[in-house]
Structure 1
């Protein structure tokens, strides 16, 4: 897309200063003109002939009488009359064209388009009336005021002159002051008619533009779909302004890139989704990021032949919070955007900003609702886990207590009973499990306050792990499992909280022992790299986790799917403790093996 090429020319200035003269500098002719305009305003019922539709338009309008000389075409078959009028009108500042007959007058009028014609009535071949009729029959010359020069004073001739399209008549022999006064009068009338027609056109255009903005507003008001709102705006603008292309580009969060999010094309190939770096076009985006519209001319390489230039207008899309992007319009070269059209684009950009903000707020609220629903489900699942975990040891404690109570009532020496020792061990173990669960719950509650939990020490990891695994050897041997210690050859000195690290490793070993079948392997592996230490616990048998699941997520899923895997509440705490150690965890499954790999910073 051409807007992603370097700009080839500077901004087009739209404001043309209006030259004004003070009252003291006006000559008598200006005073006469002013009085005539005032009387015309009264007769036409116009309070202010310069309609307040667009302040910029008023500033850019040109007072023709003070900028250029009017062109007068004199048509007369008498050379002396031509010479006299030519000298006087040229001295008065007019540009004068001469014709000696109606045929040449028609040719000159079609090629030069004079502002006013002084036309003699009595001429050979084509008289003045016929010449005027032919002028009024052509589109290019019908609006030119024609003043007849005639020695005929009969009313019928005057009426005929008005019937064929004349605006006035001057009786020969002419008086120079009268000729000048009548010329100025009709030039002013013609100028005011053109001004009024232009202002009426602008007023109608303003109404059309306001209707376009209302249509955009009505269509986007009830929609919370950002793409739909932008599509409505670009299509409506392209239609009402007759644009070759209308696009919306949006910045990223940091305003580093600009991406075409929506477009409506009639002449250019599609380029929606293309992105460019804002920093590559500092001259362009410096002004746009300051919320100022920009009009420029650039070449379109895609056009054939290449090098064809187009006019582009960019209006920033922003609200009171931020600048979101820009609204671009394209039209053929030489067709600049008027101030009224720029204002329409700015209003449409404002509607786009409102639509974007509403759509994004709605999307954010939906995300928040989804997150709240997720948290609510997480809370419910967590309560299920807690109740499930607490129920098992409590049931064991209750059953053991009842059994001990019966033994005490029915047996003389219950302490010498083998059943008493076995039940007492169950009771004691269940109490320890219950205490561990309660400690885990308390640690989860206070895990966010790291300063109260973490107490780092320097220790050698491999020897520390060797001592820690001793407490699991008896259980591993009872289950006919094999424990493999695959430590790094070099010593690993690490600074961490040993109590927190022990809680993490014990949780992983508990699950490894629990789900590794008889004759299965449990491996503890350590490796050291440049910036981190890897501590992995690998067990064969049940594949507990999916690689994409978190620890607690896997626990909840296994519970909700009624699987027999019971990973325990401890993993909830483990996730918190891993964050406290600034570590990361990877869970992998492969070939009926589950790997918990803890990555610790070196």
Structure 2
């Protein structure tokens, strides 16, 4: 009995030490089972983030033991005492059990590194105990060495079939027991290492296959949104992430926005934006293309202050950095080196795919722009062809008429037809000259802007003089032209020829679209910041959708030309270009059967 009490006392003390070091773990495991979000708890406080060699490592602040635990199961106190004392002297931690039931309970709770198991015991013998140990995943891999007395007749084959690794005959040499224990512990360590290596190799092969699959999907897509969706979903599934995000920098790298997110247990953050300057240490490393692993609070979880473990891998190529690929996990689940490598590879392929998608989008935009320009060119050529052909046809017809007059009449210059023919010649030549002038002005206006010399012009004195030169078409079309000039003297800095061309085009445009008996008004006005010159005509309106287009080159308002002037669509484009050269602006508004073109000049400050 004294031996029995001594053994039980020692065993209980050893067991209490081991249970004390892990009592917190058991309660933590129970808490984890209560729900997914409870994994993101303040258990992260035991993590210390450390940056070294460009990688982030997290260390768990937990006591570790290097001594291995041996569980001895024997119903003989004498045998227990002998082995207990000897193995403790050799540096092992020893647990004791006197029957199979106790052994199963201790093995389940403490997971010893090796079990010395007596074969012949009351109630549950060693073979049954071994069978139950091997039936449970948590104890299946523990090496079991059977203990048997020399006089006992046992079926050793049955023991090996049940999973035992060796037999020791009692009484045995202590050194033999030690060597056998060390041998099987070494074998177990090698098996564990080999299993771990095989698992890592399988994981690496799986990851390589994943990278190929993701790469194929990314390569097959030229849609940036689809690329982001594919990368985040695939990574979240394979790495079992709580959330996977891709954030993209703006062009100036001032902000980072979560462009796409695949979240399983965490709140959605898609569209959230961070200012880089608010997180200098974090983004300094990321902008230097260094992966970062850290524990960080999620703002949406406040005030609970629940945290997550984040891994960020920069998305970059030889042209620069685009953004970051983020993986989120509970704070106790670290990213392995292999997982970091996988995310880096996926980030690299994302960079290539995003560049290709953006290049493709830019190419499509260029193609659309080229198509638009090509359409404008075709329309221009059609218009120019028509405008060049019309006066030439008139000239050709007039020439034929003139030939007929010269052939059939003695004094053709006295014929009314002769005078009309001469008028056709003059009008056609003038129209042809005007078209050529417009084209030449439009072609060389940018070069001319570099040599223009501005002069001070008094608008109120200048406008009546210029208007006199353009009264003929107004009278011919029975329109009214009025002047509404400001009382004060208005001086602007302008080139007289360019200003005259602006007014002429606006007057021509007003005459072209103003019906009979309607009014064309030239108005001037000034305030502290600008001087306005307006050309207003009544009896017509320009639709809102057309107002945005009328200053484009070659554009003509359809079905709104009562006098059938035609035109090249260059007049208002010239007005806008000339106004810009004179540091002025031009705009249009139309309402209540009125059209108002307004040229706004900056006020000239006299020194």
Change (3 A) 1:309 1:193: same
Equivalent residue, structure 1, for 2:517:
519
**C-alpha distance 532-91 of structure 1, shift in aligned 2 (>3 A):** farther
Query: Contact 1:249 / 1:262 at 8 angstroms: preserved in 2?
Result: yes
Task: Rate the CA distance shift 1:486–1:148 in 2: closer, same or farther, 3 A.
Answer: same
Post-superposition offset of 1:10: 12
What is the CA–CA distance in structure 1 between the aligned matches of 2:275 and 2:46, rounded to whole Å? 20
- Change in 2 beyond 3 A, CA 1:9/1:375: farther
**What's the counterpart of residue 32 of structure 1?**
none
Q: Secondary structure at the match of 1:505?
A: helix
Aligned to 1:244: 242
Segments of 5+ residues of structure 1 without an aligned counterpart are 3-7, 18-55
Please give the residue correspondences for 1:144-155 in structure 2 after superposition, counting only pairs within 5 Å. 144-152=142-150
- Counterpart-to-counterpart distance in 2, 1:471 and 1:10: 91
In 1, the alpha carbon distance for the partners of 2:120 and 2:356 equals 75
Q: Report the equivalent of 2:294.
A: 296
Number of residue equivalences: 555
Alignment partner for residue 117 of structure 1, among 81, 105, 115? 115
* Superposition TM-score, scaled by structure 2 size: 0.79
Structure 2 CA distance for partners of 1:419 and 1:121, relative to 1, 3 Å: closer
Which residue does 2:10 correspond to in 1?
none
Instruction: Evaluate the alpha carbon distance shift between residue 571 and residue 355 of structure 1 in structure 2; reply closer, same or farther with a 3 A threshold.
Output: same
Partner in structure 2 of residue 570 of structure 1? 571
Q: Secondary structure at the match of 1:539?
A: strand
Alignment of 1:106-505 (within 5 A): 106-121=104-119, 123=121, 126-152=124-150, 156=154, 158-300=156-298, 302=300, 306-401=304-399, 423-451=421-449, 454-505=452-503
Give the secondary structure class of the aligned counterpart of 1:484: strand
Question: Alpha carbons of 1:533 and 1:279: their partners in 2 closer, same or farther (altered >3 Å)?
Answer: farther
Specify whether residues 142 and 417 from structure 1 end up closer, same or farther in structure 2 by C-alpha distance, changes over 3 A only: closer
1:89 positional shift: 2.7
Find the aligned partners of 2:549 and 2:71 in 1 and give their Cα distance: 91
**Conservation of the 8 A alpha-carbon contact between 2:58 and 2:334:** no
Distance 2:264 2:552 in 1: 55
Q: Conserved in 2, the CA contact under 8 Å of 1:544 and 1:565?
A: no
Q: How many angstroms apart in 1 are the aligned matches of 2:370 and 2:554?
A: 20
Residue 446 of structure 2 aligns to a residue whose secondary structure is coil
Deviation at 1:507, TM superposition (A): 0.8
The worse-fitting range, judged by mean Cα deviation, of 503-512 and 232-241 is 232-241
Q: Distance in 2 between matches of 1:70 and 1:11?
A: 26
Q: Report the 3-state secondary structure (helix = DSSP H, G, I; strand = E; otherwise coil) of the residue aligned with 1:243.
A: coil
1:598 paired with 2:596, answer: no
Conserved in 1, the CA contact under 8 Å of 2:47 and 2:59? no
Distance 2:228 2:113 in 1: 47
Structure 2 residue 544 is matched with structure 1 residue 543: no
Q: Distance in 1 between matches of 2:513 and 2:155?
A: 121
Change (3 A) 1:146 1:552: closer
1:553-575 deviations in Å (ceiling 9; x for gaps): 67345389999462444344334
Q: 1:345 to 1:14 in 2, by over 3 A?
A: farther
CA distance in 1, matches of 2:556, 2:538: 22
Instruction: Evaluate the alpha carbon distance shift between residue 419 and residue 160 of structure 1 in structure 2; reply closer, same or farther with a 3 A threshold.
Output: closer
Shift in CA distance, 570/101, structure 1 to aligned 2, threshold 3 Å: closer
Give 1:196 shift: 1.5
Change (3 A) 1:137 1:304: farther
C-alpha separation in 1, matches of 2:412 and 2:135? 132
Deviation at 1:256, TM superposition (A): 3.0
Task: Give yes or no for contact 2:309–2:332 (8 Å, CA) kept in 1.
Answer: yes
- Would the alpha carbon gap of residues 480 and 283 (structure 1) be closer, same or farther in structure 2, given more than 3 Å must change? same
TM-score (structure 1 length as normaliser):
0.80
> Which consecutive residues of structure 2, in runs of 5 or more, have no partner in the other structure?
1-36, 38-43
Cα drift, residue 14 of structure 1: 8.3
Provide closer, same or farther for how the CA distance between residues 496 and 129 of structure 1 changes in structure 2, counting only shifts above 3 A. Answer: same
